[in-house]
Amino acid sequence: MSMKNQLKTAILLALLTALLLWVGQLIGGYSGLVFAGFFAVLMNFGAFWFSDKIVLMMYRAKEVTEKDQPILFKIVRDVTHKANTPMPKVYIIPSENANAFATGRSKNHAAVACTQGILNLLKEDELKGVIAHEVAHIQNKDILISTIAGTIAGVISYVAFMARWAAIFGGSRDDDRGGNIISLLLLAIVTPIVATLIQLAISRSREYLADETGARIIRSPYGLASALEKLESDAKKHPMRFGNTSTAHLFITNPFRSGGFIKLFQTHPDMASRIKRLKNMKI
């Protein structure tokens, strides 16, 4: 199953990159393609180095010591030892929403953040399952992958926004490359939707992989399965009161729970499906 998810991620990232290059070529021919590629690399570089600091500040996360949180530190140390990864920095988010996420540009520059709500809600074995899931994200380089996917999708959306203005103010004039109002509208409306769908599909695929990898790290899927059941229920009672919905994919469950969205537009896999897969695992 893990190889299947890895292959799916590679294919989706390739599709997302191809979409960006197509957008660049549509806007400016070969020079537009080169500019789109250069812009994507530049944006990825910035996101790679600074996104962890930005998201931790966004959620008012405070770094804690072992003296502050001895049980949490014991769990994180035990899981990282089993995963053979360096000990990450540990943060607490002052929110009753029960949740957690991992961030950082590499194994040696990683952080795990837990909300106060998740510490209050879960038993020790359940919290261990959640921490294993987050350490799995670090081990699988998911922070880098999600940063790249988010950046490329963001560039496409920005170009689409500019194309909408071009369609309004100058789209009726054909140019030498055959650009017209139809191609501009296609770029402005369809491509950002496709980019978002691909980005969300990557996010869901990595969540499945982190569930599986985390369970194998601690040699048990049951703590995480039990934790997910509790988190699903708690999300409806204590939605996150601050932050940004664009970062929802970072968390183990969507902290901005809202109903009515079709599965293609969900940041996370269906919870019942995640729990079923975990309970059916053979370790």
pLDDT digits (tens, 9 = 90+) for 230-258: 998 887 888 888 888 878 888 999 998 65
pLDDT for 173 equals 47
Q: Which residues pair with 101 in a beta bridge?
A: 113, 251
Nearest of 237, 281, 230, 279 to residue 252 by alpha carbon: 230
What does the alpha-carbon distance between residue 152 and residue 142 come to, in Å, rounded to a whole number? 15
Note the helical H segments in the chain: 2-58, 70-83, 116-121, 124-139, 142-169, 181-185, 191-218, 222-237, 271-279
What does the alpha-carbon distance between residue 190 and residue 53 come to, in Å, rounded to a whole number? 33
pTM, rounded to two decimals: 0.79
What six digits make up the tokens of 7? 């292959």
Amino acid at 123: K
- Listed as own residue / partner, the contacts of 163-168 with beta carbons closer than 8 Å and 24 or more positions apart are 163/27, 163/187, 163/188, 164/188
pLDDT for 260 equals 52
pLDDT for 168 equals 60
What does the alpha-carbon distance between residue 149 and residue 144 come to, in Å, rounded to a whole number? 9
What does the alpha-carbon distance between residue 264 and residue 156 come to, in Å, rounded to a whole number? 19
pLDDT for 208 equals 94
pLDDT for 172 equals 47
Q: Which residues of the chain have pLDDT under 70?
A: 1-9, 12-13, 24-30, 32-33, 36-37, 40, 43-44, 47-48, 147, 151, 154, 158, 160-186, 257-264
Catalytic positions are: 134
